[in-house]
Chains A and B, each alone.
Chain A
Amino acid sequence: MKGTHLGEFEELVLLATGILTDEAYAVKIAEEIHSHTNRTVSLSPVHSALYRLEKKGFVKSELGGATNVRGGRRKRIYTMTSDGREMLDRIRFIRNNLWNLLPEIS
């Protein structure tokens, strides 16, 4: 595992990968993020984030089937690893703790 730090965008990508259990590849992940956050997501940052996540060991990938829509090119399908899941849990745990400490706005 290379570094445990996760950027905000990386976290989104990782979450989206987790949600899309069997069809998680860049285009679908970008769509998923777009539909939840309504921000414009272009492909290259998603790719970069995925490569980084893979290097950190949070996702693993394999080349999947080619479709006509893709002009015969195969897609790289990502699945979340147990490390990735653990990382997300940890982030959530830390966030929850911090939220509990935040004073109420009266």
Chain B
Amino acid sequence: MKPLNTPPSFLLFLLNIYCPDNLLEEIEGDLIENYQFNLWQKGKFYASLLCALDVIRFFNPTTFKKSKSIKKANIYYTPFNPVIMWKNYFTIARRNLWRQKENSLINLFGLITGLIAFILIGLFAFDEFQFDKFHTNGDRVVRIVTEGAGANSAGSWAGTSPAIGPSLQQEFPEVGDHLRMYRISQKQLFNFEGQTFLETGGYFAEANIFDFFDIPFISGNPNTALTERDKVVISDNLARKYFGSEEATGKVIKIGRTDIVVSGVFEELSSHFHLDFDFLLPFQNLMDQVSDERMNSWVWQDFNTYLLLNDTESIYSLETKLLGHIEKYAHPQTLEMGFSYYVHLQPVRKIHLHSSHLQNDHAQRGNYGYLIGLLWVGLFILMIACINFINLSTAKAVKRTKEVGIRKVVGAQKRELINQFLVEAGLTVTISMIVACIAVVIILPYLNEFTGKSIAFNPFDDPRILIVLMALTSITILLSGVYPAFVLSGLSSAGHKVQSLLKPESKGEFLRKGLVVSQFALSILLIIGVLVVYQQVRYLNHTDLGFNKEQLVHFPLKGSTFNNFTTTKEEFLKIGGIESASICFGIPGDIIAGDQVIIPFPERRTLPSRIFAVDHDYVETMGFEVIAGRGFSEDFSTDKSHAFVINETAVVNLELGNSPEDAIGKDLEWQMWSENDTLKKGKVIGVVKDFHYASLHEKIQTTVMHIDPSSCWKMVARISSSDMPNVIDKMTETWDQFNTGYPLDYQFVDASFGAMYEEERKLSTLLGIFTLLAIAIASIGIFGLSAFSVQQRYSEIGIRKVLGASVVDIIQLLSKEYLILILIALAIATPVGWYVMKNWLQDFSYRITLDIWTFLFAGAVTLIIAGLTVSYQNIRAALMNPVNAIRDD
């Protein structure tokens, strides 16, 4: 027999490594046979090459040693009794948890706080998404919102004109019905048998409001409740206030000077309803007070208009059709007034979260952007906690090689080891989840108080919550348990153990560092967020408004105080603490009239403007700084009828000149409110420095002040005394002397400004709390890690000390790596934080500029906190007696 030509032996050896034994013989045989054939046909080189390619291709799942099908064929493999094994997993998991107390505490603390934060934020977000879901017709109800068009009317607002609703219903068959509501902004005096109170929160509403929204009645008939003008529907709250336990429906109550019949009482409104009111008056009542001409206006943008569509699909097609309709009917009227607008249809379920850009909106609004931001923060915190678990488990892997080795020797398969480590993660996460749930139950009332919500949390009551909690538990177990389980189960019994002892920096080191970097990047991001929000809120509250908002009090004039306001003012000025006072309409932080002014020369133009109706003392009382010309003065008789004071912005917008001085003496005209068709003609006598009359979200616009006693119905007073309660007492006394029948209804200007930034203030508080949590969890994580790495390098440190390294050297050695990680984190977080916060600041017309110090400060804070945590371990290690470390080796 001729000696056989076989393929290169290393190829067969290679095949030997990965090919399962039961298949090896036939595959080898085939390869050799093929090789003979190719050798004879194509030569040695080519045959070897083809053989090599074949060998490589046999490296595939069906012909690979560890493939599942092969394992099944292995007669030595019998699965363990699963019940016993699972019991064993739990025993081991419990013992491990108990033995590594420090480690377990770090994990538990992190996961518990992470889960608490996440659950609370989740509950809050879920609640926010529930708004207006309960209306039967909710999917067909839309609100009309207006978007200004053109340079002079930028911005969006929630108000619409009274004409649009009926007009659309008539024109478009898709519109089934329309509902107009008008908010009663003035407080109404209710009087029932001597009990009198000022009530806010009322609307004029059309009778079909109960078809649009589900408002359950306690008594009365919703179908007829608002059909006639002398009826009122009140809340259960009001009914009990005035009538006690008596039946309210049918009673006659005095509102203002009119007797009105209570036609129905509705239950407390759902906390998920975007509207909030205590009483509803029939729309007919309003129509009787206003001329028909005004009710057909397309300009008067003070109504909330809702449409009930015939089907849910027509929203978007209808919106497009509306464009032409608005241009045809609205624009002729509005362009005459110097502005124009288009409208959008807003599904009622989106009103709550998607209206934060709207002005003039009385709905209960959330902020979608803030909500999403908060959800991200919750996720970040949970992730930081999961990373702690991953890092600590994999770092301790080396310690558990013996355990894994023994398990493998007695026959554990990889699958079982993975199960075991997943059980350990599962136990930790489940314990954390239970504790977190208990904590949430305790914390929730505080959150409710803070947010003004009434969120309930009872997993046993609400199966949805239970399901979500279980899903959250599973996800957290997977997030934190899967990777360590694979690393730990992959430890080999003999070979790798030696390796890992020689080289303590195991394979997971790079990933671990990466995770630490991401933890700190997230923490730094949160710190940057908090710093910027805090600075902006501070800026909002402390920025120079152009006048001193402290010690300013204002109140509306009623009855006799209104009729003789000169006397009223004199009486109030007699009070010791009042420095000056002014009768006016238009107080910063309060309602400001939007109107327009006319520039007669060189060509006649009408431009939008804020109009302040004031008296001679207004500029002085408010403390505006006059930068050109003069304020109003009694010395000039023409000031009352022919003078205007404007702000700096007006000089630019009205194109009155390059400097404030240029504007003095320019002509200005204004359409009188009190007498139709009468123009007030006058000249600019002074320019004041720009002052903020509204929140800093809004830009300062053209502002014109003039003396117009007929439009003034408020009084503003500057208090000089520091004893505010005393002055208020005296003011109440003075007020009562006038016998108006109304109580004194006063407000502080600084409080109104403070209330404008409530949302931002809450955001900064929440962010602050969550950031603290995030940093705490991340720090305690690296505390654990550094403890571990010190332990690993114990002998090394000992030897270094013996060789003469100083304490400082050792600390430097140990701290350096964390320093680098945090610097990397800072480098990642800075651009992201800059981008995110820049976007957030776009919301404000007046805002801080981001400066490098914020970012450096955030980095420094993190470095210091992390440095302190790490150095506790490091200093302890550096100070040890080297003998202790080396003696054992």
Residues of A within 8 A of B (CB): 25-27, 30, 42-45, 47-48, 51-52, 55, 63, 66-71, 73-76
Contact = CB atoms under 8 A, between A and B. Distances in A.
A68 B58 CA distance: 23
Given A27-B30, A42-B53, A74-B26, 13 more contacts: A26-B26, A27-B34, A30-B34, A43-B57, A43-B58, A44-B60, A47-B30, A47-B58, A48-B62, A51-B23, A69-B4, A71-B32, A73-B32
Contacts of A52: 62
Per CB-CB distance, the 10 closest pairs between chain A and chain B, nearest first, are: A73-B29, A44-B57, A70-B29, A76-B26, A48-B62, A71-B32, A44-B58, A26-B30, A43-B54, A70-B33
B529 to A, nearest CB: 54
8 contacts: A27-B30, A42-B57, A44-B58, A48-B62, A63-B26, A70-B30, A73-B28, A74-B25
B144 to A, nearest CB: 55
B314 interface: no
A54 to B, nearest CB: 10
Nearest to B32: A71
Contact of B32 (A55, A63, A70): A70
B69 to A, nearest CB: 7
A50 to B, nearest CB: 9
A67 B29 CA distance: 9
Interface of B: 1, 4, 6, 23, 25-34, 36-37, 50, 53-54, 57-58, 60, 62-63, 69
Contacts of B28: 71, 73
Contacts of A66: 29
Main secondary structure of the interface of A (DSSP, over half): helix
A26 B57 CA distance: 15
B137 to A, nearest CB: 51
B26 A73 contact: yes
A67 B69 CA distance: 29
B16 to A, nearest CB: 13
A25 B30 contact: yes
Nearest to B62: A48
Contacts of B31: 43
B53 A48 contact: no
B57 A55 contact: no
A44 B18 CA distance: 14
A33 B69 CA distance: 27
B838 to A, nearest CB: 55
A88 to B, nearest CB: 22
A64 B343 CA distance: 85
B97 to A, nearest CB: 43
A104 B33 CA distance: 47
Contact of A51 (B37, B53, B63): B63
A69 to B, nearest CB: 5
A73 B27 CA distance: 9
A14 B477 CA distance: 46
A30 B30 CA distance: 10
A71 B29 contact: yes
Contacts of B37: 27
A8 B50 CA distance: 24
A74 B69 CA distance: 22
Contact of A75 (B6, B23, B29, B62): B29
B63 A68 contact: no
A71 B4 contact: yes
A5 B851 CA distance: 65
Contact of B1 (A47, A48, A68, A76): A68
A28 to B, nearest CB: 9
B260 to A, nearest CB: 79
Contacts of B63: 44, 47-48, 51
Contact of A42 (B29, B33, B54): B54
